[in-house]
Amino acid sequence: MTIKYSATPKLEKRKDALGNTIVTNVPLLIDVTFNGGRFFINVGFRIDADKWDTIVQRVKSNTVHYKGKKAKEINDSVSNLLERIRKTFTKFELEENMPTITEFKKELNPKTVDEEINQNGQRIEKDFFKSFDMYVEQGKHKWQPNTVKKHNTTKAHLLAFDKRLTFELLNDTEKLDSFVNYLNRIGLRNASAEKYLKVLKWFLKWAVLKKHTSYSDFLTYKPTLEHIDKEIIFLSQSEFIHLYNLEIKQPYLERVRDVFCFACVTGLRYSDIYNLKRSQIKSDIINVVTVKTNDLLKINLNKYSTAILKKYEEIEFQGGKALPVISNQKSNEYLKEVCELAGLKEIIEINYKVGNERKTETYPKYELMSFHAGRRTFVCLGLFLGLTSKVIMSFTGHKSIEAMKPYEKIVDELKSKEMAKFDF
């Protein structure tokens, strides 16, 4: 049995958004036809059209290509792949078996087979936003609600930026720069713009892995976004004691205060306190597997955390929970009320950058309070009271000493202020 086929090296035919033929960094393909079928194999290299010899169907000698690849390496790869194609057809001939395209590809098993190239050798890219939806759908079952929200917000920004986005468009540095500029233009801080760009890159990496696209130049994209260190909001020792002992008449605010103070003396995140069950507290130790990072933490109780737990030990909460924790949104809303009642009205200056512009806003401290300030309070108070960073990290689950540096700087400034009291 003889199988008639052709295998021709050629450049992929692509056009840009304006309809012009792309002649730089063009993928090199093998165009294979047999038994009335046609498909393309991606050789795995990109070259410029003016360095391709259409007569001998190889790159021109002594030329250098994308990522420093030399002509000999590329031409050798083309020859090797053509030889593998020949041997694969010979195998099917000996077996007297006319393969389907799928069977042939499976037998050939090249490292990169692009199954979505049309009859003109043009790559068929998956729909960008449909792929994004698929990515979120696959991820939302294992992500935290805030992560899902962050991805949905990123998609909304991308749609507002350009509802006709494609993978190819975003493979251009200028387009990515335009997206960052758009985020700044609508008033987002550089830190927020970087956050949404990070989500976009997570998705694009997934899209390459799942073969929704073959474009990958974005992997080297690094925008120039200047940052100002974020202000760390926490309670001083005196502020914590005042808040802890504050007499509050409204029961719902009192419960929020108690749960927040529990965070201040355990270092637990809101999500871990929300899920904390009485069965996880044994021999004055809290045993918890964190929701965010799946770390197993053992946190010793102290007089404040013990007192808060004891206050609610006779009350039955759904699911055997240890404390009266409400939704994160309501908790943060009520916490601001509690802190205003406590008189936490120190004016705090928040500095940030939008693009190259530095901006400053001021707020009373209570407006900046959120439940995460409890975890920050734990770290700052721990350092101030003499606990080592290593010990604190064993309680909080922080992985890197670098993560502790901003807190250490704050505590050093606090100690300096305390020492100044001796200048009487």
- Same domain, residue pair 146 and 47: no
Average pLDDT, the chain: 88
- Same domain, residue pair 384 and 250: yes
- Taking the alpha carbons at both ends of the chain, their separation in whole angstroms is 104
Instruction: Write down which residue in 80, 108, 136 finishes a domain.
Output: 108
Q: Is residue 377 part of a domain?
A: yes
**CATH code for the domain in which residue 406 is found:** 1.10.443.10
Q: Is residue 189 part of a domain?
A: yes
- Full DSSP string of 272-331: HHHT-BGGGEETTEEEEE-TTT--EEEEE--HHHHHHHHHTTTS--GGGBSS----HHHH
- Same domain, residue pair 409 and 269: yes
Q: Is residue 116 part of a domain?
A: no
- Same domain, residue pair 215 and 274: no
- Same domain, residue pair 254 and 391: yes
Domain count, the chain: 3
pLDDT at 92: 86
| Mean local confidence (pLDDT), 41-45 | 85
Tokens 């030329």 found at: 63
- Same domain, residue pair 213 and 241: no
Which percentage of the chain shows pLDDT scores above 90? 48
Q: Where does residue 27 rank: exposed (0-12), middle (13-18), buried (19+ CB within 10 A)? A: buried
What is the separation of C-alpha 225 from the centre of its chain, rounded to a whole number of angstroms? 17
Query: What is the number of residues in the chain?
Result: 424
Q: Specify the DSSP class assigned to residue 21.
A: B
- Same domain, residue pair 205 and 284: no
- pLDDT-based confidence at 424, cuts 50/70/90? low
- Same domain, residue pair 25 and 170: no
The predicted model scores a pTM of: 0.63
Name the helix (H) or strand (E) containing 42: strand 37-47
pLDDT tens digits along 224-252: 788 787 889 999 999 999 999 999 999 99
Q: Is residue 258 part of a domain?
A: yes
pLDDT at 253: 97
- Same domain, residue pair 251 and 102: no
Instruction: Write down which residue in 188, 220, 252 finishes a domain.
Output: 220
pLDDT at 272: 94
Print the domain residue range for 64.
Answer: 5-108
CB 54, CB 142: distance < 8 Å:
no
CB 244, CB 220: distance < 8 Å:
no
What is the C-alpha to C-alpha distance for residues 261 and 312, in angstroms, rounded to an integer? 14
- pLDDT-based confidence at 110, cuts 50/70/90? very low
- Same domain, residue pair 200 and 316: no
Tokens 């050789």 found at: 43
pLDDT at 421: 59
- Same domain, residue pair 275 and 376: yes
CA distances from 188 to 11, 223, 225 (A): 42, 15, 12
Q: Is residue 229 part of a domain?
A: no
- Same domain, residue pair 399 and 298: yes
